[in-house]
Each structure stands twice: as C-alpha cells, then as structure tokens.
Chain A
Amino acid sequence: MKKLLRIEGMTKGQILHQITFDMEPGEMVAVMGPSGSGKSTLLYNVAGMDQPTSGQVWLGDEEITKLSEDDKARLRLHRMGFVFQQMNMMGNLNLIDNILLPATQANRGRGRKSKEELNLRARRLMEKLGITGLEKRKVNQVSGGQLQRACICRSMINGPEILFADEPTGALNKSAATEVMGELVKLNREGTSILMVTHDSRIASSCDRIIYLLDGQISAELTLGKSVSGVEKRREEKVARWLMEMGW
C-alpha cells in the first residue's frame, strides 16, 4: 500500500536528529516524549511550517522539503489540517467565519463553490462536533472545549488528507479532553489520518501506533493496531507499562 507520509533522515539543527518514519493512509499516530524532546519541532517540520536542516519529507508523491514557501502554504491549505494546543483563532472574526477562513482562501479561481455551499459544509462540521448554535459567537464567548472543537472544524473544512495536532487536549480539563479526543478518533474512523503530539497515555492508547521521542531521536515505537471497543482497559495498561519502561 502506498504511504501517506514519509520522513527520511530528517534533522533540524540541534533539536532533531535523523528522524525516519512513515504513516499509512488512515493511520492515527501519537508522538510522545518528555518536554523539550522536540515533539512540536517535529510536527512543524513535517508540516512544512519550518524547513528541516536536512532529510526529506513526502506527502504522497509530493516532496515537501523541496517546495517553495508559497507551495508549502498551498499544500497546507488544501491537504493538511492543524489543531494547536493554544486554540489560535482570529479575534476579530466570529466562530463560523474563523472556521470558514481556510475555505474562502482555498475557494478561489475557476470552479469556485457558492458561499451557501461553504456555509453548509461548515454548519455540518459544527453539527458533527456538537457546537451547533455557536456560529455567531465571538472567540472569547465560548468555553475551551467548544473552542477546540471549532478549531477541529476549521482544520477539517477543506477535507484534508492528514490532520496534525499538537497537544490538542493540553489546555482542557479532563472531561473536555475526553470529548475532544473522542471527536478526533471519530474523524480518524471516517478516514482522516492523524499525527498527534500528546502527553496523555490514555489518549495515546486509542491511537494505532506510538512513537517515543527522546533528545530529538526516535527511541522506541509501539504498534497497537486499530482499537476495538471493550479492550480499552487492556490497551491503556499496555501503553502505561511501555511508557514506564521508557522512563516516563
């Protein structure tokens, strides 16, 4: 089967060294590791927001590391989605306009879709993530959990092949974190690949694979496979044991 994402010998200054791994389509991979080990840096470099010092990154047939800044931007716009820990949104736009922002940017030139069509798509996504009715709210008028779900909507608005998430639940309380994680798993089940940085072993245990980063190098990998209901407890214990071995 063709790989979705391929990273070969990626090095970033003194932070990342010779990172090599790949992802299948539909896979959900967690990156774990102590603070300062280079998880975020890894994500930025893979997603083309930053340029690695050496090594290559492919998304499908496209070699990201070879592209210009503008081409990388276009790639992010059309084929990637992002969810950040800080829940960044434009303060001068309301929730639905924030969600629509990448869509209006992508929807230019020939064959453009009507405004209603885009609106409908945004509303559907909001409905799916359970935040219907908050369309006209300002960014500072909703809770953290709601805001992060809106961010997920925004990341999904252009139908990306892969979603990058940097501690998407890091700023949320436990119940909100569980809910948001549930949404991400649901999206993955529907076919979106996800590469996610997380600190939470419980959340990591619902991923197909875990990569452990230490001092900018991949020190271990744990393959769990697709999770099935009823065995969550066992997976969690397995992950916890594995992490303990790594000195977590």
Chain B
Amino acid sequence: MLKKLIWNDVRQNKLLSTTTVFFMAVSAMMLALTALLFSSLLGSVNGLMEQAQTPDLVQMHTGALDEQEIAQFAGERQEISQWQICRFLNLDNSEITLGGHSLLDSTQDNGLCIQSERFDYLLDMDNNRPGVLSGQVYVPICYRTRYDLNIGDTMRVGSETFTVAGFLRDAQMNSMMASSKRFLVSEWDYERLKPCGEEEYLIEFLLKDGADTNTVSAAYTRQRLPADGPAITKPLIRMMNALSDGTTIFVIFLAAVVMLLVSLLCIRFILSIRMERDKREVGMLKALGIGRGEIKRLYFSKYILFSVCGGLLGLGASAILQGSLEQQIRELYGASDTGAQAAVLALCAVAAAEVLILLSVWHSLKKTDWLSALSALFPVREQKQNRRRYLLIGSVAAACTFLMLLPQNLYSTLSSPTFVTYMGIGNADIRMDIRQGADISLTTARLAAALEQDGQVERYAVLQTGSLPAVLSDGTTCNLIVEMGDHTIFPVRYSEGTPPVLDNEIALSSLNAKELGLSVGDTLQLRINGAETRCSVCGIYSDITNGGKTAKISSSANNSSVIWSVLYISLKDRSASARWMEAYSQMGADVTDIENYVRDTYGPTLVQLGLASRGATLIAVLVAFVVTMLFLRLIVERNRDAISLQKALGFTSRDIGRAYCLKGFLSAAAGVISGLALGSLLGESLCGLVLKSLGADSFRFIIRWEILLVGIPAIILGTTILAVLMGTAEVQSVKAYECCTGRE
C-alpha cells in the first residue's frame, strides 16, 4: 500500500520529482568529483614522490663546493639518513632546440643531469628509472604537449644532437612553478657537454621519519655551509606539484558547495509545494485515522527513495566525468593506486550530501504544522509563499553569481601583471638575472652603466643579493638572503610597513618574519659589508620566490658578498622590448620578459582555471535558468485562479505577465548584487587563506571591473530574463473562465 502511494505520487508529480532527484544528483556528483579528483591528485603526487624518493631538503648552490664539509655536517646530524650532491648543468636557453622549437623564450632554467645515485630519481612514464644510452635524452613531461614532442624527435644543444628516448617525471621539478627543468642524459654525454654550460649543485638530504626539516635547515644555515641559491623543502615541492591542478579542484569544490546550498533550498521548497498540494489528501488520511507520524514517514520514505536514486546517478556521472578531468594529473604524476580509497571517499561525500539533504527535509517535515496547513486561509498563506519563492529566485541568482565570480576573480588576479608583486617580484617590464660568471658585480655595474645611457629605459633598479650573517636579539645567529639596493623603484607588496630607505632599516618576507619571530619595529644585528649594523624591521612583504625566505635592505653591497644580482627595468615603449632584450642578453645577463615569465609559471594553472571558470559559468547559467523558470512556473500555477480572475475582469495577458516578470527580474537583480558583494569579499578572504600559506600576504583580488560589473551581471540577468519570460509564458494559457467554474 505504501509502495503504491509513493509510486502514484511520483508518477503524478513528474516535474517535481524529477527536479528533486536532479538536484540531489548534481550535488552528489560534484561532491563525489571533488573527492575523487582530490584523492587521485594527492595519491598521484604522493605516489610519484615516494617512488622518486624526493629529498626532504634541497639547497641549491652555484660556485665552489667542498664536499667534505657537507659530509661532516651530515654525519653530525642524526636526523639525516642519506645525503647526496646532484650536479645540474645549466645550459643557455638560446642553445637548446626541442623538436624544432627553440627554448630561447623559455623562462625556466633548463639543464642536463644524470640519474641520481641514492634518491631523488628521475622516472619514466611507467615510474621506472630509465637507462639512458649516450646520444639519448629524456625530456621533462611538461614539455611534451607544450612543444608537441614525440619519442624519436631530436633535441639540439649547441652543435650536439640527442634523440628523445622518452619522457621524465621529475617529482621535484615537474611543476612549472619550479624554476628549473632537468633533462636526463648519459654520464658520458654529461661530461662531454660540461663546457657548454655552468654547473650547479643540488645538495640534497633525506631525513629520518619524524625529523623536523626546519631544524636541519636552520642548522645548515647556522654553519654557513654552501647556500648560494634557494632552499626548498618537501612540503613546498608537494604544494607546487598540487597547486595547478589543485586550483581546479578547489573551484569544483566551491561549485559543489554552492550547488549543495541551492539544492537544499530548492528541495525544501519543492517539499513545501507538495505539502500544499496534498493538503486535502493529508486531511483525508488523518480523517481515516492515520497518525501524523505515519504521514511524515510516508513523505520521508519517498525522499529516501529519491536520495538513493539521486546519489547513484551522481556517483555514476562523477565516475564518467572523472576520466577526462584526471587526464592531466595522470600524465604529470602517473596513475594513483588509491582507487579503492578514492571510491570510499567519494561514497562518503555522496552519503554526506544526501544525509544533509534528508536532514533538511526531515526538519522541514517536522516544522510544518499539518493542522494549520489544513485550516489555513488559503489566500493569505499564498501571498507569503509567493514572497518566499521570489526570495528563492534571488538567493539562487546570488549563488550563481558567486559561483561565476570567484574563479573569474582568481583568473584575473593570477593573469594580471601586478600579481607578480605578490610573488616578490617588482612590477617591471623586464628582469635581468646575473647569476653566473666570474665577477657578478662587474657585470652588474657594466649593465647598469649601459642602462643609464639607454634612451629607451624609463626606470631601472639594481638589486644585489648576498647571504649576510645576522644575530637575533636572543643571540642566535643565521644567514639571511638579503636583497640590497633601492626597493622603492619597483616595490613589491607590503602587508605591513614600508620598503627600507634608511641604512639601518630591513624589510623581511612574511615567511622569514614568521620564522624569526620578528615584526615591524623589532631589531636584529646584521653584518653589512663587514660592519655590524643594528637594523630595525621596517616592513614585511609578500614573497614566494626562493622558498619565500628573503630580506631587503637599502644600502648597496660591496663586491665580495654578492651571490647574484637582478636588474628590473621598465621601458618607455613596451612594443620594442623583444629587440631590446636581444641586445642586452649578449652582455652576460639572463633577460626575461616578466609577463612571459608569469605566463610560463602560471600558464598551466591559468589554463586549468580558465576551464574551471567556463565550467562554473555553464553550471551557474544552467542552475539560474532552471530554478528561475521552475519557480516562476510554480508561482503562476499557484496563482492561476487570481490570474484567471484578472483576465475575466479584462486584464490582458501582457499586463498580468509583466507584473510577474518584473518581480522575478527584480529578485534576480537583487540576488546578483548580493552575489557580487559576497563573491568579492568572502571569496577574497577564502583565496587569501590559501595563498597566505604560500607566503603571499594580504591578498587582494585584482578585479577586472568590466567583467565584474558588466559581464557577469549581463550573463546572469540575461539568463534570468529568458527564464522569467519562459516561466511566465504560462500566463497566456490561463483561461478567463477558469475562475468561474471552480476547477477540479
């Protein structure tokens, strides 16, 4: 009997039932997708890092190196289980050609290396350690699609030719955010090509389980061991690996949350419509002596059926979509063996979504006073319901706007030229790095002199980096990587304070400030050019370069302490930059177009984010359309009598429809406005939280106002107008005489 009642009801209310199941399925699908992708990304990244045996700590170093010193350090520290020094032959990008494409415009440091001995292995596409014959090369996987490479293509380094024998997964440098890319060659070729490039060292440590990377890193720095280059830790590597795909998953997750909220709203609402519609039957059931609890159970079992259907549909859909979305993850990091775990996680996510929906339905059922529903004065209630329906249209418009806005804001922020200031790079057009050569300072001075004479240069700044010994107020000593020069010409983003101007001022990157426990106004002792100087912290800035741990002072360095120097330049005429850069790269500097650099670094993330943004737009448009149309239809349906009466009295369909359209449209417009506000404020703090962990402080969206104020409102409002028009088209079909006959 119960089965029959449920089944008949589902059949009679096809639209409402389908809509309910649809919402349940979509929320389930998106949450399941988030879970599946998240666990597969983490699984793949972790799997690769495990197989490659990624080091816990990597210190890069250019210049002379005493292996004995490091061996002694490793022997003394008990946390260190293994160590090794990997050689990396940094090549000049202009010398490299990959399958016909020159790497001249690449902003990565491309170089050769041989397979490591003890850990940090470079793996092939089956996650095995490939054997390389002489004349063969294994190319980083991220270049495969970028340069459209196949096995058998050639790679040229100067006059030498290699055959691409396969592709490499480099657990440490896979991400475009890692600044170097390693090509694997045979030892014989490596030695032969040595004169073509500059050799650098990766000093790598594998720690015992449970050892703290930071203490080892601090000890290393304290002992003044070779550290002319950035240091990287395993968590940072993991983060860089996960970030570009993680961003997409983050957007999918957000969309899932918004979808779940919309579903909760709509399902509860559909329930209240059903109960309105069933008032008479419920009364009859009660008259027959069926209790209130029994009726509630009748309704609830219907929703359990719906949620099982919706959950299964959602799981199925997510399994279908998973494959295509996972492709990039699988290519970069290999398949994960977490299939079962992912499935369980997805199942949990779906179950959580459905349970949440069912709880809200139960709450709704419990709250409703059936008695009052029976004796309700129909017209008064109806008006209140109308208002709630318009409110719902508004909330859904707000949610959809939010959903579109957030990825869009993220995208415009990451693609904006000013975003580099969050990365710790000044907002200039061009950057020149001088990291190699006998005398860095001399080269720097020569370039600076040339720039001074150059008529095309608008402004430029010379920043020289040294590793300076510092003494904190509690007596501990350490080496700080300090950038010296005028920091006011191309300032980075300061979350607190100002750039250093006076000789005794120092600015710290936010990660450094946190680690050293210093804030604006505190002091530390620094040996600058041989003289002990008491410096006060004048500002804290955002920096994610060099592992995010840097400092800035205004006094210029003397020659001996400089590890590398960077020149920032802005040109009067940006369009002529290519030829200009060409000229300067002859003078011993590594010249980079900053826009190119950002595009290279964030390119994959941006492509993903662009996709996610488009996907979010599609979902938002679909949801806004379906919900708005559905609810206007319901409003018209519920007001059928009133509409018919108005028609009998001589109102035209257009007059009546216009009133409904206007109300529907105004609710949507109000929703869009609140969605914009919500997306800008809440979204900002949400993303800020994520970026803060990377070292980018005081995050602000860089907003493209024309999209925010025109594009998104136009899309959502356009969709709602269409939906409103279609939803109110039903007004036409209402007959004037319906009100006279007393329908049904």
Contacts and interface: CB of A to CB of B under 8 A. Distances in A.
B736 A77 contact: no
B647 A73 contact: yes
A91 interface: yes
Contact of A76 (B380, B649, B740): B649
B72 interface: no
Contacts of A91: 377-380, 382-383, 642
Nearest to B738: A49
Interface stretch (A1-9, A29-37, A82-90, A220-228): A82-90
Contacts of A73: 647, 650-653, 736
B interface: dominant SS:
helix
A38 B431 CA distance: 90
Interface in A68-118: 69-70, 73-78, 80, 82, 84-86, 88-92, 101-102, 105-106
A44 B653 contact: no
Given A40-B740, A44-B737, A92 B648 contact: no
A54 to B, nearest CB: 19
Given A76-B650, A78-B650, A106-B650, A86 B655 contact: no
Interface in B624-661: 641-642, 645-655
Range, interface on chain A: 20 to 34
A236 to B, nearest CB: 28
A85 B740 contact: yes
Contacts of A90: 379, 642, 645
Contact of B737 (A49, A70, A101): A49
Nearest to A68: B652
A82 B735 CA distance: 15
A80 B646 CA distance: 14
A50 interface: yes
A107 to B, nearest CB: 12
A140 interface: yes
Given A44-B740, A88-B740, A70 B652 contact: yes
Given A86-B740, A91-B379, A92-B380, A77 B651 contact: yes
Contact of A102 (B383, B650, B652, B737): B650
Contact of A82 (B379, B382, B648): B648
A196 interface: no
Contacts of B380: 91-92
B423 to A, nearest CB: 59
Contacts of B740: 40, 44, 49, 84-86, 88, 166
B215 interface: no
Contact of B650 (A86, A88, A105, A166): A105
Contacts of A78: 650
B739 interface: yes
Interface string B508-552: 000000000000000000000000000000000000000000000
A74 B379 contact: no
B475 interface: no
Contacts of A80: 650
A150 interface: no
B539 to A, nearest CB: 62
A239 interface: no
A139 interface: yes
B741 interface: yes
Contacts of B654: 70
A139 B645 CA distance: 15
Contacts of B653: 69-70, 73
B210 interface: no
Contact of B741 (A40, A77, A82, A106): A40
A73 B380 CA distance: 27
Nearest to A70: B652
B737 A77 contact: no
Interface of B: 377-380, 382-383, 641-642, 645-655, 735-737, 739-742
Given A40-B740, A86-B739, A89-B645, 9 more contacts: A74-B652, A76-B650, A77-B651, A78-B650, A84-B739, A86-B742, A90-B642, A91-B380, A154-B649
Q: Which 5 A-B pairs have the closest CB atoms?
A: A91-B379, A77-B650, A49-B736, A76-B650, A44-B737
17 contacts: A44-B736, A49-B647, A49-B648, A50-B736, A69-B653, A76-B736, A80-B650, A84-B648, A84-B740, A86-B742, A88-B648, A90-B379, A90-B642, A91-B379, A91-B382, A91-B642, A92-B382
